Structure 1
Amino acid sequence: MMKLKKAKILVLPLAMLLFLSFSSAHKFYVSVTNIEYAEENNAFQVTSRIFIDDLDKLLQERYGIEAKLATPKESKIADEYIEKYFRSKFVVELDGNVVPYNFLGKRYDADVVICYLEIPNVTLSEVKTMSVQNEVLTDLFDEQQNVVHVKWNGNKKSFVLIRENNKGMLNL
């Protein structure tokens, strides 16, 4: 009986240490952006998925805004500043020329904010190259990775962009 009690005294702290080390999940800094050509609209449709807490922190640090994203107390100017941030950190070029895009809005899905953008008036047959520069959150998190998937005419190309390598290029 005494050995069992000693075993419990030794095993319990070890088990708790092991449990706690696994329960504090490692934080990943990643966004996923899908860019897909919609032939019926002659447009590239863009969805960018970013963790809500990371974007909230960014808006606070960069603009001093308590956005409180995805809460009933969300700031009325949050969308305006999210769009402003995207315009400074997300750039698409077609054949070497920066193309304008429309910020259509956002929605929430669990712990992620999905931002919708559209690059209108693109005649794909006339475009030879595309480059995507995605620096979203790289100014706040050193470990930030921005995964970009591009789909057009049955083709797909993906790349991972980081602070030191923030631009991906492809031939269409």
Structure 2
Amino acid sequence: MGLLLCKWFLPLWISAVHPFYLSVTEIRHNAPRKTLEISCRIFSDDLENALKKHYSTSFDIVRPQNRPAVDTMIAQYIGRHLQIKADGKPLSLRYLGYRIEEDATWCFLEIAGVPDVKKLDLRNDMLYKEHATQSHMIHAIVNNKRQSTKIDNPNATAGFSF
């Protein structure tokens, strides 16, 4: 009986003690609008804790008392930790806002003035300072062609060719 308990409950206990750290970033080229539409799904508690540490402040990301201040912190944090180039040209992210969905925060961004994309390069080191095992799933969709990759801390770069 003891061996059976260890077989079933030890993995559950280990996963509770050692959570996984994963975000998902999707970059979609909208050719008619000549934009890149970006969404980042980040566990809310991880993002909130990183922002609290980075800005030496306290707040609740789910029910913020000052939503504009939280939006500013998120925009600045993502701007420092996510850089995107299209065809070798560095691009400027425009933060649009965030939405809470269950245990995740969805952050929405846009890059204007991108009529065509042949190559996307990015650097994403969000939460790397906070979590040595942080990983990022990255999806890029251009001309209805989807490519995906995963990067793990400390690797922060990925590239896609279309």
**TM-score bin, normalised by smaller chain:** 0.7 to 0.9
Partner of 1:89: 81
Specify whether residues 154 and 164 from structure 1 end up closer, same or farther in structure 2 by C-alpha distance, changes over 3 A only: same
Give the length in aligned residue pairs.
Answer: 159
Specify whether residues 70 and 95 from structure 1 end up closer, same or farther in structure 2 by C-alpha distance, changes over 3 A only: same
The match for 2:126 among 119, 128, 136 is 136
Matched, 1:154 2:144: yes
What's the secondary structure of 2:58's corresponding residue?
A: coil
Partner of 1:38: 30
Amino acid of the structure 2 residue aligned with 1:137? L
Amino acid of the structure 2 residue aligned with 1:149? H
What's the secondary structure of 1:79's corresponding residue?
A: helix
Matched, 1:29 2:27: no
- Could you tell me how far apart the structure 1 residues matched to 2:73 and 2:105 are? 14
- Could you tell me how far apart the structure 2 residues matched to 1:107 and 1:160 are? 24
Specify whether residues 104 and 17 from structure 1 end up closer, same or farther in structure 2 by C-alpha distance, changes over 3 A only: same
Amino acid of the structure 1 residue aligned with 2:122? V
Amino acid of the structure 1 residue aligned with 2:109? L
Q: CA RMSD in A?
A: 2.3
TM-score (norm 2): 0.87
Of residues 15-24 and 76-85 in structure 1, the stretch that sits farther from structure 2 once superposed is: 15-24
The 4+ residue runs of structure 1 with deviation greater than 6 A are none
Larger Rg: 1
- Could you tell me how far apart the structure 2 residues matched to 1:104 and 1:80 are? 10
Partner of 2:92: 100
Specify whether residues 15 and 171 from structure 1 end up closer, same or farther in structure 2 by C-alpha distance, changes over 3 A only: closer
The match for 2:49 among 54, 57, 67 is 57
- Could you tell me how far apart the structure 1 residues matched to 2:91 and 2:113 are? 10
Superposed CA deviations along residues 88-108 of structure 1, whole A, max 9, x for unmatched, are 000001122210121000001
Matched, 1:80 2:77: no
The match for 2:156 among 149, 166, 171 is 166
Partner of 1:6: none
Amino acid of the structure 2 residue aligned with 1:117? L
- Structure 2, unpaired ranges of 5+: none
What's the secondary structure of 1:56's corresponding residue?
A: helix
What's the secondary structure of 1:41's corresponding residue?
A: coil
- Structure 1, unpaired ranges of 5+: 1-10
- Aligned 8 A contact 2:64 2:70 in 1: no
